[in-house]
Chain A
Amino acid sequence: MAVTAAGAQQTVETVEAVFRIESARIIAGVTRVVRDVQIAEEIAQDALVAALEQWPESGVPDRPGAWLMATAKHRAIDLVRRKETYARKLAEVGRALEDAPPPAEPSGPDDIDDDLLRLIFTACHPVLSTDARIALTLRLLGGLTTDEIARAFLAAEPTVAQRIVRAKRGLARAGVAFEVPYGADRAERLGSVLEVVYLIFNEGYAATAGDDLVRPALCEDALRLVRVLQGLMPAEPEVHGLAALLEFQASRIRARTAPGGEPVLLADQNRTRWNGLLMRRGVEALHRVGGGPYGPYALQAAIAACHARAARYEDTDWATIAALYAQLARVVPSPVVELNRAVALSMADGPEAGLALVDALTGEPALKDYHLLPSVRGDLLARLGRHEEAAAEFARAAGMARNTRERDLLLDRAARARAGRP
């Protein structure tokens, strides 16, 4: 059968798509053999090159994912054999080879899942800096190129490339075992994984710097990651809690910016633009949390669910939200949680109640550069008719905001407060 140019092009696209779908699993499977993510990633790339060379000639195999995995694993085993000089290791690999599936026979889905989990826990290992964990997770598990990660975080490509290389070396140097933690440190290690995904989402949802308020692509990468985690760890309530939180947050993305890109506050959002499918997925994920005491992500998801349930801003159940923030403050005490509780209280019981709480936070060193503190305080003062003070707070907040869109909004609110308007 003659391979047409169009057919060859189609094959190349298929190879690339298959590789993107499978690459995390292949890297994970190879890492189990070579115990080094850097080498594993190179071998996975080799398998991709092999597919690009062979498939246009031979056609796409029946199980392209299994083909890539088998090819990569064989290369991995060859490499270990060539490089390994310790007889003990050789014996181990020999055993691994006997246990390894024959070519074109996939490993069982459970083995692949286990490897993927190991890779996730490795990429998010606490020996790495937060930035390194984020970059490595997006690279190995999110399948993003270094360039895509750099653009998402407004960083220079070489910087991110360096960060990823250093992270892989750091894992090797620290002798991080390629394993899923069970036992005493599991909670902490899982916390680290969830935090990485949460931070990726948040960088997309509330871009800390730059001209765009929202970078939805990053939110979607985080969502995909948390959905994968739900499949891999269905028994972990906080995994579902985080999934619920992110589905709810993502459901509002479309409504959070006006056509010109300026931010739209929750009170002013057109709720018909909230995405119903994502809200339903949020509700579903929250159900899967179960009945135990809610962890921090599940509590935040429950708060987001309260907002989702209100068809109009006026219908928001602020008393329940304030109570949930109080629970959250007990689980993870933090000034930011207190600030949010103040907002909810001010909506439930009036601006004075909120202001008392906010005033208690003004000396908080952790909030020294947090623009939302003066922004919230300005809002409460404006609602109390103290316009001059409100204007000063909004101006202060504008000076702290790193995001251009947010700064413009705050300057506008300062001007309106000076004019005595809400």
Chain B
Amino acid sequence: MPRFLSMVRIDENEMAGADFPEEFDQRMGALLEEITKAGVMLDTAGLMPTSEATRVTWSGGRVSYTDGPFTETKEVVGGYAMMQCKDMAEAVEWARRFVEVHPAEWSVTCEVREIQAG
């Protein structure tokens, strides 16, 4: 049964100052409990905003550092979920349920990638 990494991409500019509807936490909590109870969720967490991030780049044989925020990037990874599913279709179905929990006016993208075996 392969493992999948779902990278949750959000628009930080849009999220800045967005208020979280009251039932959002509750719905998200219920969904995470359901994914866990299905024996699917291995690990999940949200990430601190890119204003606290640093990029370490290797290019042309030199290392350079860039501190966040990365406002020029429309979408940044805001969290991840590692799931163990029978196949990609099952992982995508859980990702669909995950994005649907969010308010309609937000844009959230789950990039679902299979983790290399071995």
Q: Which residues of A76-99 are within 8 A (CB) of B?
A: none
Which of A20, A62, A113, A231 is within 8 Å of B39, CB to CB? A231
Q: Are A231 and B36 in contact (CB under 8 A)?
A: yes
Q: Which residues of A173-210 are within 8 A (CB) of B?
A: none
Min Cβ gap A61→B in Å is 12
Q: Are A221 and B43 in contact (CB under 8 A)?
A: no
Min Cβ gap A359→B in Å is 42
Q: Are B89 and A231 in contact (CB under 8 A)?
A: no
Which of A17, A21, A217, A226 is within 8 Å of B38, CB to CB? A21
Q: Looking across the interface, which residue of chain A has its beta carbon closest to that of B41? A: A227
Q: Are B93 and A14 in contact (CB under 8 A)?
A: yes
Contacts of B34 on A, CB cut-off 8 Å?
Answer: 109
Q: Are B93 and A223 in contact (CB under 8 A)?
A: no
Q: Are B89 and A14 in contact (CB under 8 A)?
A: yes
Q: CA A368 – CA B58 in complex, angstroms?
A: 62
Q: Are A231 and B40 in contact (CB under 8 A)?
A: no
Contacts of A232 on B, CB cut-off 8 Å?
Answer: 37
Contacts of A220 on B, CB cut-off 8 Å?
Answer: 1, 84
Min Cβ gap B39→A in Å is 4
Q: What 1/0 flags go to A372-391 for Cβ under 8 Å of B?
A: 00000000000000000000
Q: Which residues of B57-88 are within 8 A (CB) of A?
A: 82, 84, 86-87
Contacts of A224 on B, CB cut-off 8 Å?
Answer: 1, 39-40, 84
Which of B1, B38, B96 is within 8 Å of A228, CB to CB? B38
Min Cβ gap A193→B in Å is 14
Q: Are B37 and A228 in contact (CB under 8 A)?
A: yes
Asked whether B15 is an interface residue with its Cβ less than 8 Å from the other chain, the reply is no
Q: What 1/0 flags go to B83-109 for Cβ under 8 Å of A?
A: 010110110111010001000000000
Min Cβ gap B67→A in Å is 29
Asked whether A402 is an interface residue with its Cβ less than 8 Å from the other chain, the reply is no
Q: Are A21 and B43 in contact (CB under 8 A)?
A: no
Asked whether A39 is an interface residue with its Cβ less than 8 Å from the other chain, the reply is no
Contacts of A345 on B, CB cut-off 8 Å?
Answer: none
Q: Are B39 and A18 in contact (CB under 8 A)?
A: no
Asked whether B30 is an interface residue with its Cβ less than 8 Å from the other chain, the reply is yes
Tally of chain A residues near chain B (CB < 8 A): 25
Contacts of A225 on B, CB cut-off 8 Å?
Answer: 39
Which of A20, A62, A227, A254 is within 8 Å of B118, CB to CB? A254
Q: Are B93 and A18 in contact (CB under 8 A)?
A: yes
Which of B30, B36, B43 is within 8 Å of A277, CB to CB? B43
Contacts of B33 on A, CB cut-off 8 Å?
Answer: 109, 231
Asked whether A13 is an interface residue with its Cβ less than 8 Å from the other chain, the reply is yes
Q: Which residues of A1-47 are within 8 A (CB) of B?
A: 13-14, 16-18, 20-21
Which of B36, B39, B89, B118 is within 8 Å of A16, CB to CB? B89
Q: Are A143 and B37 in contact (CB under 8 A)?
A: no
Asked whether B42 is an interface residue with its Cβ less than 8 Å from the other chain, the reply is yes
Q: Are A143 and B89 in contact (CB under 8 A)?
A: no
Q: CA A277 – CA B93 in complex, angstroms?
A: 24
Q: CA A109 – CA B36 in complex, angstroms?
A: 13
Q: What 1/0 flags go to B35-59 for Cβ under 8 Å of A?
A: 0111110110000000000000000
Give 19 new A-B contacts, CB below 8 A, not counting A17-B89, A221-B1, A281-B42.
A13-B89, A13-B92, A14-B92, A14-B93, A17-B87, A17-B92, A20-B90, A21-B90, A62-B100, A220-B84, A223-B84, A224-B39, A224-B84, A225-B39, A228-B38, A231-B36, A231-B39, A277-B42, A277-B43
Would you give 22 A-B contacts (Cβ < 8 Å), ordered by A? A13-B89, A14-B93, A14-B96, A17-B87, A17-B90, A17-B93, A18-B93, A20-B90, A21-B38, A21-B94, A109-B33, A109-B34, A143-B86, A220-B1, A223-B39, A223-B84, A224-B39, A226-B39, A227-B39, A231-B38, A277-B42, A277-B43
